[in-house]
Amino acid sequence: MREITYREALNEALREEMDRDPNVFLLGEDIAIYGGAYGVTAGLWKKYGDERVLDTPISENAIVGVALGAALTGMRPVAEIMYIDFIGLCLEQLNNQVAKIRYMFGGKCTVPFTLRTEGGAGRTLGAHHSQSLESWLIHIPGIKVVMPSTPYDAKGLLKSSIRENNPVVFIEHKMLYNTRGGVPEEEYTLPIGTADIKREGRDVTLVTYSRMTLFCQEAAAVLEKEGISVEIVDMRTLLPMDIETIVNSVKKTNRVIIVEEDCKTGGTGAEISAQITENAFDYLDAPVVRVAGADVPMPKSPVLEKLAVPDTERICKAVRDMVRL
């Protein structure tokens, strides 16, 4: 199988869906001539023109509002919010309109709207451009939240998101764009709401998603040399959560650690932990542990930023401590 970057996989997904369905169009800040802040939409404006790849004003609220209106009239917009840090500027539209309108109209309309954005630390961009705010979004009934970790998952899930008749927030990690992985040339999609076992193991389950999946894989390779077998569950979709896959893994290993980049307090891992307790408490040989981001605004300093997010060594230490209980 050929290997391409995460960025290239997303670009291919957009291109293929635009070729497949003339109702798919893109809008966002600097996505046309410039090709997007991280190059995901490069070349698409040249191929499809102004009517299908639209540069917008710097107004996140307007971007989401326009996309909602287009979706309600039969189009399939794919909007880009340049950084998830700016999601607060369009939360009124997203929470009160996009997520609720199909419900409030009794299912008489659909909202086939995909909102792409990126988040996470790693490039020392400071407190306004490095946050992980996915836990805000999983608290909004009526939307789906996707966070893939590999090029294969990114392409398959973005295609499914664009075809979905309900709104999807598709979150990409800025440190994944240059990562490479196998992606088939033939057509494929992946189901939204299904987790993936990235590594089979017997001693401890690591539940994770997005960039932290890569750190978990590195940690598992280190721990394997120490005789510790780690299973990795990549959530891929945070809303709806595939609790069944997590519970089945916990039943096998009897120990679970949740690894997430967002802040620990009120983070995504808190919801996962609660659901594990509700659905698999009797199978646990140790309390659920969370390895998460620090409860601080993301520092600009490279040294401090590294301390604020989980890494391979922190994951290894958590696993070793749990196995020794």
The yes-or-no answer on residue 60 being catalytic is: yes
Burial 202-227 (b: 16+ CB within 10 A, else e): ebbbbbbbbbbbbbbbebbeebeeee
Distance, in Å, from the CA atom of 222 to the CA atom of 27, rounded to the nearest integer, reads 43
The yes-or-no answer on residue 139 being catalytic is: no
Catalytic residue selected from 8, 17, 29, 60: 60
Catalytic residue selected from 17, 129, 173, 305: 129
- Residue 35: which region, alpha, beta or left (left: phi > 0; alpha: psi -120 to 50)? left
Active site residues: 60, 129
